[in-house]
């Protein structure tokens, strides 16, 4: 990862380092106002000669004398000016890193808007996952965002610090999702959680025997097929002083999903190491929560287990009893995420929070509905949902509300138990059915469910990260918690 930090304009005068500007399709250069008028005009002319159109992710280079030094100037396209927001700057900054990481050691970025997004893009674009193999060594080590005077210094410093904190969390989530499934056992995730103890964070790991005592039959049913022991992890952050609010974030942690006895096709298993992305997001938040310092008491809960077809694996036709006493008839062992979340949500509700947010790679149906760039959101509380949607907008992590259609609830009424773990009507409203099922376990508490099945794993490289784990919803959670 590169470092991103502020740089006084006067310091730029003293050396000949490369400079970066951002440009719109209308020819406007963002951040170029700090340049002398003659240099600005000369740069615009040079870029025009290079054929720079300002299209998104386009990069052009010009040689120019600025502040008495001959230097390279890189212009990065933002696309159309109308409607361009923080995400355009984030992606442009990420594209810049991709273009320069093997060429230049450091660059100075001229920008006076969307500073945090620029810093995030620079950091996210430099992410690599190298646990199992090392790529080519990067030349680029540092990017500095230029501030013109003492009045603008604070804004740049704040943007860099906030971006660094958020990206640190995102990168942990990415690392965890990218790790091979045999190398991230449920207990290894529990041990990682334990390492966050201190600075206001406490950690309780509920192992099999205690989970049995607590009545976590849905969670333990899924875990029966694996030789590796499961772990229900409960982390708590308490702010200094009395926090007025208590909230819970809950994550699905299936460290590999084979589908169980309802076995997935081989190709469908290829990315199933990502089925713990919800748990990864919860862990990521708790890695930085003591430095984020939200004013609320925050409970982070995740249910971690493999879903495998072992000798004692749970079976279609089994009836499981969740922590709140509700019985569940299993029709498909590949609808296991909602089962482990059932007990995790019961545990969350037991803490009597004012809000519960769960994250899960729950359904393929949400990918069909919303694609790979938008997560689904369902809720029993419009006010809480509005706050989560607002946080996602600030983070530029798109969410789309799906309705919890009451008429569909009859489709998960069991024949021999209270609930079915899949719908009686196949191929219809799969994501909503999952949300309706989960709602049965929140005890009436304000709750939002985020189905991140489409956004948690990227099949292709992008400007702000390579293919693989994305760290989906981590920045949204941090935005929400910071605003409490």
- The residues carrying an active-site annotation are 264, 338
> Closest Cα partner for 455 from 245, 174, 196?
174
Q: Which long-range contacts (CB under 8 A, 24 or more apart) does 409-417 make?
A: 409/436, 412/436, 412/437, 414/327, 414/328, 414/329, 415/329, 416/319, 416/329, 417/319, 417/327, 417/328, 417/329
Helix axes 277-292, 186-194, angle to 10 degrees: 0
CA 316/CA 19 separation, integer angstroms: 62
Q: Residue 365 CB: number of other CB atoms within 10 A? A: 21
Q: Residue 213 CB: number of other CB atoms within 10 A? A: 9
Residue 60 pairs with which residues in a beta bridge? 75
Distance, first Cα to last Cα, the chain:
30
Helix axes 474-482, 277-292, angle to 10 degrees: 40
C-alpha 26, offset from chain centre: 33
CA 183/CA 306 separation, integer angstroms: 12
> Closest Cα partner for 325 from 349, 305, 307, 304?
349
> Closest Cα partner for 383 from 328, 446, 444?
446
Residue 469 pairs with which residues in a beta bridge? 457
Q: Residue 27: CB partners within 8 Å, gap ≥ 6? A: 44, 48, 54
- The owner of tokens 């080590």 is 141
Element at 474 (helix H, strand E): helix 474-482
CA 183/CA 189 separation, integer angstroms: 10
């Amino acid at each position: 990862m590169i470092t991103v930090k502020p740089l006084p304009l006067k310091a730029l005068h003293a050396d000949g380092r490369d400079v970066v500007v951002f440009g719109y399709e209308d020819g406007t250069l963002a951040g170029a106002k700090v340049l002398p008028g003659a240099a600005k005009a000369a740069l615009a002319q040079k870029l025009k000669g290079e054929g720079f159109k300002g299209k998104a992710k386009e990069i052009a280079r010009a040689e120019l004398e600025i502040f008495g030094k001959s230097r390279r100037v890189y212009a990065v396209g933002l696309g159309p000016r109308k409607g361009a927001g923080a995400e355009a700057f984030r992606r442009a900054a990420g594209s810049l890193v991709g273009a320069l990481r093997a060429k230049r050691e450091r660059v100075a970025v001229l920008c006076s808007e969307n500073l945090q997004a620029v810093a995030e893009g620079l950091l996210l674009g430099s992410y690599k996952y190298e646990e199992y193999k090392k790529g080519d060594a990067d030349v680029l080590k540092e990017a500095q965002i230029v501030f013109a005077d003492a009045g603008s210094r604070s804004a740049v410093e704040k943007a860099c610090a906030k971006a660094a904190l958020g990206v640190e969390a995102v990168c942990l989530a990415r690392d965890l999702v990218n790790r091979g499934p045999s190398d991230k056992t449920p207990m290894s995730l529990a041990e990682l959680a334990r390492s966050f103890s201190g600075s206001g964070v406490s950690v309780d790991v509920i192992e099999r025997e205690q989970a049995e005592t607590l009545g976590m039959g849905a969670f333990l049913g899924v875990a029966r097929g694996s030789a590796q022991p499961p772990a229900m992890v409960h982390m708590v952050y308490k702010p200094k002083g009395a926090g007025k609010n208590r909230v819970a974030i809950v994550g699905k942690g299936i460290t590999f999903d084979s589908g169980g006895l309802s076995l997935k096709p081989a190709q469908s298993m290829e990315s199933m190491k990502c089925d713990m992305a919800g748990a990864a997001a919860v862990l990521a938040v708790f890695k930085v929560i003591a430095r984020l310092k939200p004013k609320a008491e925050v409970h982070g809960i995740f249910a971690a287990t493999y879903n495998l077809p072992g000798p004692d694996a749970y079976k279609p036709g089994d009836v499981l009893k969740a922590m709140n006493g509700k019985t569940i008839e299993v029709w498909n062992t590949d609808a296991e995420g909602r089962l482990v979340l059932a007990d995790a949500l019961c545990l969350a509700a037991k803490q009597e929070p004012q809000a519960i947010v769960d994250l899960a790679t729950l359904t393929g149906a949400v990918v069909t509905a919303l694609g790979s760039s938008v997560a689904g959101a369902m809720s029993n509380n419009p006010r809480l949902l509005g706050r989560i949607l607002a946080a996602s907008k600030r983070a530029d992590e798109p969410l789309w509300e799906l309705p919890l259609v009451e008429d569909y609830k009859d489709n998960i009424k069991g024949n021999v138990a209270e609930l079915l773990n899949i719908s009686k009507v196949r191929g219809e409203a799969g994501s909503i059915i999952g949300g309706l099922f989960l709602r049965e376990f929140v005890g009436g508490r304000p709750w939002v469910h985020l189905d991140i099945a489409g956004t948690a794993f990227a099949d292709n490289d992008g400007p702000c990260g390579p293919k693989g784990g994305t760290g989906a919803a981590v920045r949204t959670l941090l935005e929400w918690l910071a605003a409490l």
